[in-house]
Structure 1
C-alpha cells in the first residue's frame, strides 16, 4: 500500500506542475513558469513550430511586441508584470485549436549589462516546456489529463485488490475441500458444539 501512496503523491505533484494541459476553445489558460535567482533580464515565451516563434518577449521591464506572432497579439499577458518572486507565468486568453502545441519558457537572469542584446538572447535557458491541447467539449478521448490518469490508476489498483481477495478466498475454499470439510461446514460444526 505504501508504494501506491507514494506513486499517487508523485502523480499529484506532477499534475499540479502542469506540463500537459488540456483546455476547451474560448477558455483562458495559465502556463506556469517560475525561476529562482537574481533578477530576470530577459523572458521569452515561444512556440517553436511558429514563425515568428515569439508568443511573448519581455526585456527591459516591458513587453516587446515588434516580433510577436500575430496569433498571440492581444491574447497574452504575464500573471505578474514585475516578475516578483520569479513568477513568469503566462496567461493565454480565448484559446482556439491554432494554439495547440508545445510552449517553452526561456529566461536570462543576472545583473551584467555590458553584453550586447544579441548575447542576451542567445544565452537564454529553457526552464519550462508545456504541451497545450485544445479540444472541443465532449471530445476528450479517455485519460488525457493528469487527473484522469490518477483516476485510472486508482481504478486499476482497486481491480487488482478485488482479484487478489477473490484469489485468496478461492484458495482457502480449495484448501478446506482437500482437508475434507468445506469452510461453511467447519463454522457450523463449531456452532453445534456450543449448543
Structure 2
C-alpha cells in the first residue's frame, strides 16, 4: 500500500463515518452519544468547537444540568433523550433547529474514576423549511413525513457520527501507513546501493 492509496482509503473512511442525515428548519433533532454501560456519569459536555468559547450546547454535572453554562442560542432548547441516562445513553434532543444549528457537535463524558473523554462527534446540516431535506428519519421509518410527527417523537434528523472506534481505526491506519512507507523507502535505498566488487579469485588450472 503506497502513500497515495493509504491517503485515498483514509479519505474514504472519514467520508463514510461523517455522513449525516439532514434536518429541516423547525424539526427536533436527536444527537446520538453512548457512554460505557453501568458506570456512573459525573460530567457530560455537548459542545460545538466553533461556539465553545461562549458556552456549551448542553452541560450536565452532579446529577443535574446547568443552563447558565450553555451558549445563549441553545438555552431552553436541549434536553437529555433519557433523563435517567440508562445504559449510558447520553444522547440529547435539540429542539426547533434552524440553519444556524448546522455544524459539528462533540460529546464528552466523564465517569467515576476516569477523566473526561471524547465519545462521539456528529455533523448536523439543517436546511431551510422551504427546501426538502434528504434522508430525514422518523420513528415510523418514513423519509420526510409529517412535520408535527417528527417533532413529537423527537427522532427527526438523527445523524451518524464519527465514533471513538472510527478515530482509533484512523490512528491505526495512519501508524501502519507510516511504518510501511518507511520500510519501503529503506528497501528502495538498499536496492540502489552499489553492490560490493567481487574478489579476484584465480581460476584453478
Q: What is the TM-score normalised by the length of structure 1? A: 0.55
Asked if 1 retains the 8 angstrom alpha-carbon contact of 2:26 and 2:129, the reply is no
Q: Does 1:34 align with 2:26?
A: no
Larger Rg, first or second structure (1 or 2): 1
1:163 match: none
What secondary structure sits across from 1:132 in the alignment?
Answer: strand
Q: 16, 38, 62: which one pairs with 1:60?
A: 62
Q: Does 1:131 align with 2:123?
A: yes
RMSD: 2.7
Instruction: Measure how far apart 1:139 and its partner are.
Output: 3.9
What secondary structure sits across from 2:87 in the alignment?
Answer: helix
Alignment of 1:1-195 (within 5 A): 20-37=20-37, 38-50=39-51, 51-111=53-113, 123-137=115-129, 139=131, 145=135
Kindly tell me the number of residue pairs found equivalent between the two proteins.
120
Asked if 1 retains the 8 angstrom alpha-carbon contact of 2:41 and 2:111, the reply is yes
Q: With a CA cutoff of 8 Å and minimum separation of 6, indicate the structure with the bigger relative contact order.
A: 2
Asked if 2 retains the 8 angstrom alpha-carbon contact of 1:19 and 1:129, the reply is no
Alpha carbons of structure 1 residues 111 and 82: separation in structure 2 relative to 1, 3 Å: farther
Higher normalized helix content (fraction of residues): 1
Instruction: Measure how far apart 1:26 and its partner are.
Output: 0.3
Alpha carbons of structure 1 residues 97 and 146: separation in structure 2 relative to 1, 3 Å: closer
Instruction: Measure how far apart 1:138 and its partner are.
Output: 6.0
Structure 1 gaps, min length 5: 1-14, 113-122, 148-195
Residues in 1 aligned to 2:132 and 2:64: alpha-carbon distance in whole angstroms:
38
Alpha carbons of structure 1 residues 44 and 36: separation in structure 2 relative to 1, 3 Å: same
